[in-house]
């Protein structure tokens, strides 16, 4: 259903470095670099960051949340660790999240601009 997503960033270089390290854990690489935007993906850019001059940090109560699929719990763990090492903040350590309909393993981070990003996988029972 969704072809690609993009998030605004206040410092393209800082954010490109953050996402290059963080998204690599999920198999996404930098595919496109332009003066005001960078695209990451596997075969084509699926995740974009776009420079927004004068952008304020995203408010925690904004409700914006982007979730990316991981293949394994190890990828989720690596995503979380890489994000923290690259300047992100934890918004939920890796672990099982029991839910009414499905059991999933996820980790949540906040990028340097306040964008909330999750990595998720659905391990077998």
Domains of the chain: 5-52+64-121 (3.10.180.10)
Residue 100 has phi, psi (to 5 degrees) of -55, -40
Q: What is the pLDDT of residue 73?
A: 97
What mean pLDDT comes out for the span 14-20? 98
Note the pLDDT of residue 86: 98
User: Is the pTM higher than 0.85?
Assistant: yes
6 in Cβ contact with 115 (< 8 Å): no
pLDDT exceeds 90 at position 67: yes
pLDDT score at 98? 79
Residues 72-108: b if buried by 16+ CB within 10 A, e if exposed: ebebbbbbbbbbeebebeebeebeeeeeeeeebbbbb
Encoding tokens for residue 87? 């300047």
Confidence of residue 88 (pLDDT cuts 50, 70, 90): very high
**Residue 87: left (phi > 0), alpha (psi -120 to 50), or beta?**
left
Mean pLDDT over the full length of the chain: 94
Instruction: Check residue 11 and give its pLDDT.
Output: 96
| 84: three-class secondary structure by DSSP | helix
Q: For 74-83, what is each residue's pLDDT tens digit? A: 999 999 999 9
Q: Cα separation of 105 and 33, whole Å?
A: 32
pLDDT computed for residue 61 by the predictor = 83
pLDDT in tens, 42-65: 999 999 999 999 999 888 888 889
pLDDT score for 6:
96
pLDDT at 116 over 90: yes
| The pLDDT value given to residue 66 | 95
């Amino acid at each position: 259903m969704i072809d690609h997503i993009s998030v605004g960033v206040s410092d393209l270089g800082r954010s490109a470095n953050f996402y290059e390290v963080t998204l690599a854990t999920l198999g996404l690489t930098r595919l496109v670099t332009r003066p005001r935007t960078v695209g990451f993906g596997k075969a084509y850019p699926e995740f974009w960051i776009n420079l927004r001059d004068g952008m304020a940090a995203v408010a925690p109560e904004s409700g914006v949340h982007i979730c990316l699929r991981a293949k394994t719990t190890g990828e989720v763990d690596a995503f979380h660790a890489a994000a923290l090492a690259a300047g992100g903040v934890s918004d939920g350590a890796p672990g099982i999240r029991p839910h009414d309909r499905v059991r999933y393993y996820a980790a949540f981070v906040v990028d340097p601009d306040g964008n909330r990003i999750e990595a998720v996988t659905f391990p077998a029972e």
